[in-house]
Amino acid sequence: MRFDILTILPELLEGPFNVSMMKRAQERGLLEIHIHNIRDYSTDKHKNVDDYQYGGGAGMVMSIEPIATLIEKLKSERNYDEIIYMTPDGELLEQRHSNSWSLKENIMILCGHYKGVDERIREHYITKEISIGSYVLTGGELAAAVVVDSIGRLIPGVMNDETSALTDSFQDDLLSPPVYTRPPEFNGWKVPDVLLSGDFGKIEQWREQQAIDRTKSRRPDLYKKFTGEE
Ligand code: 6GU
């Protein structure tokens, strides 16, 4: 699977993909991440990538030309399954988005900045607009890293334990139950007896109940989905 990320701050994206699972996925040839600097496509003599907005108002707008040139170039090289624009006014990212995108071949991600991109980019190129939560970041780069990470780990062969992606929080609209490892007692704090009982039927039942209780108290919105109320 291939990602092309379009940004004015490529440095911000160097870190997240060069460690741990995303690094291994690239080394194994399961994942390709190409980062493109929008500024390289500016024909302006100062290499500007933004401009004042028509109609006035505070804040700069990302210009159409360098972005359109870069998108056209990439589109002429391969077909994209999705062209995602990272923006705080996009649809909230959910596990279902990542699940479906993990089955795709080529995904392009445009990182927004300032007041956003010229609306004509959104109208003519973007196929999906995504936000990662109800708060504002300085730009879409960290959000793009979140999207790539959440998709990348679902690609077959990327995770060591392939079944573990299926037991993640959110995969069945429930949060995960608590987990413990050795020692069985620390500072007098004990691991629940049931987990040491060896009775796997009981353990499974306990985990399911914990997951339900946690979801109900921490994420009533998810709990409603789980019970089918929504
Ligand atoms: Cl995708 N971009 C920015 N700038 N802020 C955000 C976001 C994206 N998602 C949540 N906040």
Closest Cα partner for 219 from 179, 151, 173, 180? 173
Q: Around Cβ 83, how many Cβ atoms within 10 Å?
A: 20
Ligand 1 geometric centre to CA of 175 (Å): 24
In a domain, 157, yes or no: no
Average pLDDT of the residues of the chain: 95
In a domain, 160, yes or no: no
Ligand 1 geometric centre to CA of 135 (Å): 7
In a domain, 182, yes or no: yes
The predicted pLDDT at position 215 comes to 97
Residue 8, pLDDT > 60, answer yes
The predicted pLDDT at position 171 comes to 75
Segment 63-67 shows an average pLDDT of: 98
Ligand 1 geometric centre to CA of 210 (Å): 32
The predicted pLDDT at position 165 comes to 74
My answer on whether 17 and 42 are in the same domain is yes
Contacts of 104 (CB under 8 A, 6+ apart): 1, 81, 82
Question: Which CATH number covers residue 45?
Answer: 3.40.1280.10
- Classify residue 4 by its DSSP letter: E
Query: Which of 131, 138, 147, 148 has the most ligand 1 atoms within 8 A of CB, as the residue to mutate?
Result: 131
Residue 164, pLDDT > 80, answer no
In angstroms and rounded to an integer, the radius of gyration of the C-alpha atoms of the chain is: 22
My answer on whether 146 and 173 are in the same domain is no
Q: Quick one: what percent of the chain has pLDDT higher than 70?
A: 97
Binding-site residues, ligand 1, Cβ < 6 A: 86-88, 112, 131-133, 135-137, 139-140, 143
Segment 34-57 shows an average pLDDT of: 97
What is the secondary structure of 138-168 as a DSSP string? SSSHHHHHHHHHHHHTTSTTSSSSTTGGGGS
The predicted pLDDT at position 36 comes to 98
My answer on whether 144 and 198 are in the same domain is no
My answer on whether 12 and 111 are in the same domain is yes
Segment 128-149 shows an average pLDDT of: 98
Closest Cα partner for 86 from 138, 36, 153? 138
Segment 7-33 shows an average pLDDT of: 95
Segment 164-173 shows an average pLDDT of: 76
Contacts of 165 (CB under 8 A, 6+ apart): 153, 154, 159, 171
The predicted pLDDT at position 162 comes to 57
The predicted pLDDT at position 144 comes to 98
Segment 193-214 shows an average pLDDT of: 97
My answer on whether 25 and 80 are in the same domain is yes
My answer on whether 12 and 125 are in the same domain is yes
How far, in Å, CA of 48 to CA of 69, rounded? 14
Segment 101-113 shows an average pLDDT of: 97
190/169: higher pLDDT: 190
Cβ contact 17:145 at 8 Å: yes
Rama region for 152: left / alpha / beta (φ>0; ψ in -120 to 50; rest): alpha
